[in-house]
A and B are shown apart, each in its own frame.
Chain A
């Protein structure tokens, strides 16, 4: 099959949209996955720890 300009434009438009949708779903699933919650809460509290030393 020959790849001409219109074919590439069509590819961009169709698969681009699909990619956008699929990607959005993945991110939302990751963000709201119940078992991730604990990690996120810990992460946001952890930077306020006043001890300014690496953990051994």
Chain B
């Protein structure tokens, strides 16, 4: 009899655990399940390109320095945001972003369409010391980026991992990842020719940090910043008008 009583106790614990799991997870499943088929609702963007190895390396530096903590990459469908930053962001634009970097806070401005907005030189001086170009800025200085050589040997592994999670890199791209990263930042080298061949004629190939002889972390980060919002033209073709912001709550 005491044995039975004990079993009953344990059974009620397990029942409780199952109830919590059911209650908590069904909400998540119901909400998230439709997102597994969201591909069907994402806009078509046949011109969507992939990050080159150099841009991916730059993106990883963006992640490493935690830039998402102060910069969003998601322009909302509000009129003032569209006028300030450009066409609102579409789902398709971050379709190859593992992880997405939409951000949640704008201590600094949104960067979703910062590509081609400023010159390379501006970015290099700004990253080296933001207050040289924007005296009121409170962004940290990233002086070491131009000093640190970019680590390129492991880029094939990075591309392979990206492919494993669904980004359509080809074998050719993976194999030549390190060479392409070098080539994209050294336009005069032999390695430069293959980059456009593999990633498209639109690919920006130049010495992003102003020094054509070596590839630094600055090259990679600036290459990434200059491609932001330029992966596809879909957002510029989209014609839906942005929403008027509601009346201020105050």
Contacts and interface: CB of A to CB of B under 8 A. Distances in A.
Direct A–B contact in the complex, CB atoms closer than 8 angstroms? yes
Interface stretch (B25-33, B84-92, B190-198, B224-232): B25-33
B47 interface: no
* Interface residues of A, dominant DSSP: helix
Interface of B: 23, 26, 30-31, 33-34, 36-38, 40-41
Interface residues of A, number: 11
B34 A8 contact: yes
Contacts of B36: 8
A5 B23 contact: no
A5 B41 contact: yes
Contacts, number: 24
Contact of B23 (A4, A12, A23): A23
A15 B37 contact: no
B128 to A, nearest CB: 47
A46 B25 CA distance: 32
A5 B40 contact: yes
A48 interface: no
Contacts of A16: 30
Contacts of B38: 5
Interface string A2-36: 01110011011001100100010000000000000
